[in-house]
Structure 1
Amino acid sequence: LVAAGIIIGAGTAGATVYAYCATIDGLQETPPVATPASGSGTFTIDTDANTVSYNITYGGLIGTETAAHIHGYCGPGVPCGVVHPLPPGSPKIGVWDYAEADEASILAGLTYVNIHTDFRPGGEIRGQIIECPVTPTDEASWGRVKTLFR
């Protein structure tokens, strides 16, 4: 994965902002959960403001949501503590103000979304928050690369 850091000029001069994503499903739970539920999340990390803005959606839960959190700081397949509560329902939209000391762990992908239900109180679906994959644009397409060598 390639870092997706960008510089934003409007609003906060010189702010460094990173785009992170999460694919959320039962297979990432510890232990894995057989569920048709799935979801996704987009996260904008502003390292100057020490904030994570999030938009998380999901559907298909077997159980009724009882709680949802961002957990940290650990890698995939490892359970760890709650670092930020999430609002109920889908979508979950908000901002997390994090401590400067936690920034390196957040940027290292050591946080995850966990949706808890009465079907699986420990979590029905989970998704690690990682750098978004970068997809080629017209400027980086193979056709453009070939024209450089003509």
Structure 2
Amino acid sequence: MLQRVTKGCAALALGLASMSASADVFTYTATLSGAIEEPPNASPGTGTVRVDFDTDNHLLTINTTFSGLLGPTTAAHIHCCTAVPETGTAGVATELPTFTGFPIGVTSGTYSHTFDTTLAATWNPSFVTSFGGGTIAGAEAAFLAGLDAGTAYLNLHTEFAPGGEIRGFLQPVPEPATFALLALGAPVVLLAARRRRGKQ
């Protein structure tokens, strides 16, 4: 019985892993606050962000919601890459002077946009030079590495805090297949433990 369950789980795990590998969309999230700014500030503003990076199709989708800012917005960017994860500051990685279509002059709002990461306009030229080795492909790779390492952050700049009123370091969200593999392994471990106890 245990052998059949183990083989079935292994087959399902392989299927899930192959489905996951065929669609390379990496998801990152963060909670934004003034306490995370460098230096920290007392802004009551809050926000959330989700970033989906489809490396197969070279698409970067940014969805954010924010409210309670002390000053009207002046710009929003993703900065990358800090020397230490979840701390410090870094230059702007994404387009300048702000995200295309980002709501400016407001203290609350939402934003959703998909960028083509093969276009030079998506990137800050300094980031392409400093981190990407002068190529867009290099910038994409460096940006993905920064996201994975927790050294990239979304920053909302306002009149109250021109250097950034609220920000949050983006963290990877485990892929659904990872959760599925963990869930599949649990019954196998439980069955093995049960069987071992029965033999004692």
TM-score, reference length from structure 1: 0.76
Q: Which residue of 2 aligns with 1:70?
A: 78
Cα distance change on mapping 1:93 and 1:29 into 2, 3 Å: same
Which residue, out of 150, 153, 173, partners 1:132?
A: 173
Q: Which residue of 2 aligns with 1:97?
A: 116
Which residue, out of 132, 137, 146, partners 2:190?
A: 146
Does the Cα contact within 8 Å between 1:28 and 1:77 map onto a contact in 2? no
Instruction: Give 1:20-99 correspondences, 5 Å limit.
Output: 20-75=28-83, 76-84=87-95, 85-86=98-99, 87-88=102-103, 90-98=109-117, 99=136
Report SS of the residue matched to 2:60: strand
More helix by share: 2
Cα distance change on mapping 1:92 and 1:132 into 2, 3 Å: same
Cα distance change on mapping 1:133 and 1:47 into 2, 3 Å: closer
TM-score, reference length from structure 2: 0.59
Stretches of structure 2 lacking an aligned partner (at least 5 in a row): 1-16, 118-135, 195-200
The letter of the residue matching 2:67 is G
Does the Cα contact within 8 Å between 2:77 and 2:92 map onto a contact in 1? no
Which is further off, 93-102 or 126-135? 126-135
Which is further off, 23-32 or 118-127? 23-32
Does the Cα contact within 8 Å between 1:29 and 1:124 map onto a contact in 2? yes
Higher Cα radius of gyration: 2
More strand by share: 1
**What's the Cα RMSD here?**
3.0
User: 2: CA distance between counterparts of 1:6 and 1:142?
Assistant: 17
- Percent identical pairs in the alignment equals 35
